[in-house]
Structures are given as structure tokens and as C-alpha cells.
Structure 1
């Protein structure tokens, strides 16, 4: 087993990083991992940290690898946020810690996910440490693309670019990770995840969401009236809120269990009074509310991608490209063929643009339900040709 077994469809990148592990004299101390959502850039950064700290070069089975995977290794810190931006105080704390010597590992490694969420002022706090890291410090920064990072940071990092994983790579990953999936389920999830490993894992562990998605796609294709669009928008909104609450509840429960494990407490036993203040900070009401809001918007964004896939499939049908690229929503093939007759090529393109307009509005703090209603109304096919 190797830490690289977690990486999907990035063989050339893994080979490059493995070469660095084998030849540490070529090791840079500031790295920028970029790739589209779902490509696995944060997972790759963590696995690279494991390989750097592991005495066996990243075997994935030793205690060091296990601790890093659980987030309990003292010399590997991960900064992530559920807020819109990364806080300047959080970055200042990392910079101060980066000047310290490693406590047990070879390096002090700092992973910052979504570095594109830093304001310019926050980035300036980080700049000098990235430009001239302390002798035993390594920075691993992650972002969707190099253009999303300020040039002052980008120019001082070794760039690693990830590709969108192919469906066959995701299917192979699902087969290894979730052996109870049937071959048809594996193929379906790999196809509808559209290169997003996180979404593929989500569907593999929450298979009820496959039915929710199927109903939504069918609803989009079969809309004929404004009332259909309004009802579907409300259903999407309700489902997204329920999923967001479930996601955050599961995350908090996992963090609480990990806290008890780290402190040698039994899962079902109450937390001692001395540790209760720290334990109660996990999942505080106000923080949990912010996380639910963020998760809700992420889910809406994922749903918009699914809706786009309908009109992507229509365009594939219009251009007779089924054999070369295939369709995402294969289960709805008959409905898609009928809708393709109702829409011209330009109308299919207009609907793709309408989805992107709704995405920008929602990302700009629009009212998601109203934006969904307006978008879905524009997707209704013409009554007559």
C-alpha cells in the first residue's frame, strides 16, 4: 500500500512528486497545487506531506502516515475554512508557528486549502514566509487555478497542475474503495460525478442521493409550465438544505469522536469537566450555522452542474457525438432524445448560459430559491416550433 493510492487519474503528477521524495535535494519548500474542483488537489497535498514525513517514503501504513491522515500529527497543520474567506489571524498563527523547529518529524508542513479565498491583506502576511521559508518548513498551498492566486504568491511556489480525472479512473478508484458497489453502480457514479472525486465518494457513501439526483434530472427534462419550474425549485431548495444539515451533523459527530479518541475517552462515556470546554467548542451553534449555509451553497452549485449536464447531453445529441464522448445522464436517454427534438442547438446553448447566470447570482449572495425559480422558468422548452 502507498499514500499515492488515494490519488485518482494523476499518474504523471504522482511520478513527479515521487521523484522529489527519492531525490530530496530537489525539494522546494513552497508548493502550489492547482486543479479544478474534485480533482483531488487537497488530497494530493496531504499525501505529499505524508510521503515527506514518513520514514518509509509514504508507505501509508506506519504510525506517522496514520496520524497525518487523522490530522493528529503535530508537525503537519491543515488550514481550511467553511467561511467565505480565510481569516488573517489564522494565517498569522501559522506564520508564527512556521518559525519553530519540528517536534517529532523531519519538517514542519503547512497545508492551506483554498488559498484563493485569502484577501490581499491576508496574502501579504503569508508572503515573506512563502518566499523565504524557515529551514525546516514546507508550505503546500491549494487553489482551483494559478490565476486565482495573487502573482506575488504564485511566482514564489513550485506549481503542480492536476487534470480532471477520467471516468475510467474514478470507476477504478470506486471499485477499490467501495467493494460493495455493483459494477453498474460504479459505472453510473463515475459517469454522473463528471470528474469530481468528492462527489463520486459522496454518492458511493450516500446512495439515497442517487435517487434524489435522478428525480431532479427527470424533473428538469419534463418541465412544460412555469408551475413545474416553481415546484421543482422549491424541491431542490428543500433537498439542498436537508443535505447540508446532514453533512454538517456528520462532520461534527466525526470531530467529536476524534476528540474523544485523541484524549483516550470511550465513545459512549461523558466528557470530563476539565475537557468539556474544548469539546463544546466543536460544533458551536453559530459556527455550525455558518457551515450549514456554506454547505447549502456548495450543494446548490453541484446541482447547477447536474442541470448543466442535461443541456451538455442535448448538445452531444445535436452534434452526433454519442460514440466519441457519450452522455452523462444515460438513464434518461429516451427523455433526452425527445427534448433534443424540441430544442435547437442555439436554444440548448442559451440554457447552458442561463445556468451559469444563476450560478453567478447565487455566488454573489443572491437569493438561491428565487434565482433557481427564475432559471428553471427559462429552461422550459418552447410550446410550439
Structure 2
């Protein structure tokens, strides 16, 4: 497979998406090929956001040689780029209205004004409706770029107003080569990380470079395999939630502190000085956003665990059907063979259905601990609670 890692700036970081890169490069260079709104879809880790910002950089810059402008865009500091990177559970109506308002501004210095919406699938119907008119009739020099896992994650009214661009899912070997190139790690570690991450580039890099993350994944899967009843299900569920909580806190604590310090500097409050009453509402608003982000981070952590469990029982089903090629958890082959022999395939499928149901429960704000406990009881008993 040819690699866009060798493509000219700013496309070099878009890995393994040659056809999509070529489509967007032509659109950036030829107004006749440019649509006013795009929807970039692909599985997690396929490079949706990376491609969106490379496209924005190419659109805003004066020419393919205008590297200074493109670097500003990629850094998120160019005035003609408006980007919504949400770490919260949903994109709010207020955020959508702000995007629409910005979309009607003429470009200040670039060729186009570009609105990038990451995780556009986090919009509920009312929020999506705010964008409709702006997507249907944007100013001539405004381009919208939405990112989502699939077209089905957005309303039909949104899909009808955008040009879709579907990214390919990279192979394990593709991701492993990229990890080796980026980190210099040995081929075996890169291959294992790419396989365990199920070709998610960002997660593969984290697994490859974080011994703790690799260890926690292995311990979690082995602990779930060891669940034998309600008492151990409750114990293991508690450990999973605690590990996800600790991970979420570690990922957000430093960022939260930096945001608070930056806000205090902006409003002229020295470190350690009491916050004046007139400014407390701003601090409260920031803290509220940070709490929402922490909730999203915890859910994402639990979802990663569910993804790992899904890979485990998917491997079991494959073995039960006599297929041993393409297994994800090769390091647990003995345990997988034992489980495949001990269970009927119907039980394995029941477990996979329970994992999907747990995901849906978490999206409905069910207690994460109760949801995971219920899942582990199903796994250990072969029956839904």
C-alpha cells in the first residue's frame, strides 16, 4: 500500500488514506471541485480529524507553498479556522449557534473560512437542526467539515447537505509500520499494539509507548475471564471502573489546571489571589465544562474496556466456527481455546449482544458500575440478569 506519510505538507500526517487525500487536495486547489460542506467518516483512529485539519490548512493557505499559514491552521491559531473539539458528552445548542454565527464571517486573511466539527455524531436532533440552514446556504467562502464514525450517526437532513468522504480502515500491518516509524519501537511491540488497538492509530501508539496501559489491558481481560459468579463480578466491575476513573483523572487533571491558570491570567488574577465575586461565574462555567469533560473521559475509558472485551469474545466465536486467522488476542490463545470448547456458540453471541447493550446503557446515563456489573454477571452465567 502506498503511504501518504510521504505526501507534501500538510498531508503527511494522514496515514493510509491516499484516495481521500487526493480528493481533498483537488478540491482545495480547484474551486470547481470544492463542495461547501463535507462529512468525513471512518472508524475511530482512521484519521478523520487529522485529515479535516489538513484540508482546512490547504483551503485557508494562499498556495501549496504557504507553509506558515498552514502551520497556524494546524496549531489551531489561525483566525479563519473555527474548530469544535468537544470532550463533553454532547455538543450543545449554544456551541452550534456559535459555529453558525462564525460561519457567516468573511475570511479575514485566508482564502476561505473553515468550520471543523469533530465528533459531529454528538449532536442531538435539536442541535443538528441549528446547523441545517448554514449547511444548506453558507457564504461563498465558507466551508464546513464535519467528522463522524459513519453517515448513519447523523440525521438524514444533515447528510443530504454534505458531500460524504469515507475513509478506509487501515490494516494491522499498516498501523504497526506507522507506530515503528513514529516511535522507533521494535516490530513485535508495534504489531501487538496495533492488533490490540484494533487498528486505532492513536490507541495503538498509546499502548506501544505506555507499559502501564498494556499491563492494565492484559489484567482486565484476565480478570474478566476469571469471573465465576456474582461476587467476583461485583469485585472485578469495581476494579474496572476504578481503573477507568484513575485513567480519566490522569488524562484531565493537568489540562484542567492549565485551563484554570490561563483563565485567571486572562482576567488579571495572580496565582494564589482570591477570585473577585464578579469573576466567579466565569470560573464556575469553566469548572462545569471540565466536569462534563471528565464524564466523557470516564465513559471513553469504559468504552475502551468494552471494546477490548468485544475483541476477546469475538475471538472465541471465530474459534468456535473453526477460524483462527486474524485473532486479536493471540497472547490469550490457551484461554480462548478453552472457552471456545466449553461454551456453545450461542452463549458467546449472547455475551457480544450484552456488551453492545452495555454501551447503549452507558449512553443513557446508567450508572457505569451497575452496567458493568450486569455485563459481568451475564458473562459468568450465560444468562441476562
Give the TM interval when normalised to the shorter protein. Answer: 0.7 to 0.9
CA contact (8 A) 2:89 2:295 kept: no
* TM-score normalised by the chain length of structure 2: 0.87
Q: Report what 2:28 is aligned to.
A: 21
Distance in 1, matches of 2:303 and 2:350, equals 19
Q: Report what 2:114 is aligned to.
A: 109
2:164 aligns to what SS in structure 1? Answer: strand
Deviation string 1:135-184 (CA, Å, 9 cap, x unpaired) is: 211111122222222222211211111232221221122122222x2222
Q: Report what 1:227 is aligned to.
A: 231
1:86 aligns to what SS in structure 2? Answer: coil
Deviation string 1:325-376 (CA, Å, 9 cap, x unpaired) is: x211111112212222211211211111121122211221111111111211
Q: Report what 1:310 is aligned to.
A: 312
Distance in 1, matches of 2:65 and 2:308, equals 36
Distance in 1, matches of 2:206 and 2:64, equals 30
CA contact (8 A) 2:62 2:111 kept: no
RMSD of aligned Cα (Å): 3.0
CA contact (8 A) 2:60 2:113 kept: no
Q: How does 1:203-282 map to 2 (within 5 A)?
A: 203-252=207-256
CA contact (8 A) 2:62 2:110 kept: no
Contiguous gaps of at least 5 residues in structure 2: 1-7
Using a 3 Å threshold, how does the CA distance of structure 1 residues 230 and 357 change in structure 2: closer, same or farther? same
CA contact (8 A) 2:89 2:293 kept: no
CA contact (8 A) 1:21 1:57 kept: no
Q: Report what 1:79 is aligned to.
A: 84
Q: Report what 1:337 is aligned to.
A: 337
Q: Aligned residue pairs: how many? A: 370
CA contact (8 A) 2:315 2:336 kept: yes
Distance in 2, matches of 1:220 and 1:54, equals 51
> Which of 152, 167, 171 is equivalent to 2:176?
171
1:111 aligns to what SS in structure 2? Answer: strand
CA contact (8 A) 1:203 1:209 kept: yes
Distance in 1, matches of 2:24 and 2:43, equals 19
Deviation string 1:6-53 (CA, Å, 9 cap, x unpaired) is: 223322212222222343331111111122333222221111111222
Q: Which is further off, 236-245 or 113-122?
A: 113-122
CA contact (8 A) 1:311 1:351 kept: yes
Give the deviation of 1:205 after TM superposition: 4.4
Distance in 1, matches of 2:262 and 2:150, equals 32
* TM-score normalised by the chain length of structure 1: 0.87
Answer yes or no: is 1:294 the counterpart of 2:334.
no
Q: Report what 2:190 is aligned to.
A: 186
Q: How does 1:32-47 map to 2 (within 5 A)?
A: 32-47=39-54
After TM superposition, what 4+ stretches of structure 1 lie above 4 angstroms from structure 2?
253-260, 269-273, 280-283
Answer yes or no: is 1:197 the counterpart of 2:198.
no
CA contact (8 A) 2:36 2:144 kept: yes
Using a 3 Å threshold, how does the CA distance of structure 1 residues 132 and 4 change in structure 2: closer, same or farther? same
CA contact (8 A) 1:362 1:371 kept: yes
Give the deviation of 1:100 after TM superposition: 1.9
Using a 3 Å threshold, how does the CA distance of structure 1 residues 198 and 51 change in structure 2: closer, same or farther? same
2:115 aligns to what SS in structure 1? Answer: strand
Distance in 1, matches of 2:283 and 2:187, equals 42
Q: Report what 2:3 is aligned to.
A: none
CA contact (8 A) 2:175 2:201 kept: yes
Distance in 2, matches of 1:258 and 1:106, equals 31
Q: Which is further off, 69-78 or 109-118?
A: 109-118
Q: Report what 1:266 is aligned to.
A: none
CA contact (8 A) 1:170 1:195 kept: yes
1:77 aligns to what SS in structure 2? Answer: strand
Q: Report what 2:9 is aligned to.
A: 2
Distance in 2, matches of 1:58 and 1:29, equals 23
Q: Report what 2:105 is aligned to.
A: 100
Using a 3 Å threshold, how does the CA distance of structure 1 residues 252 and 176 change in structure 2: closer, same or farther? farther
Q: Which is further off, 49-58 or 77-86?
A: 49-58
Deviation string 1:110-135 (CA, Å, 9 cap, x unpaired) is: 01122233233333332222111112
Q: Which is further off, 237-246 or 352-361?
A: 352-361
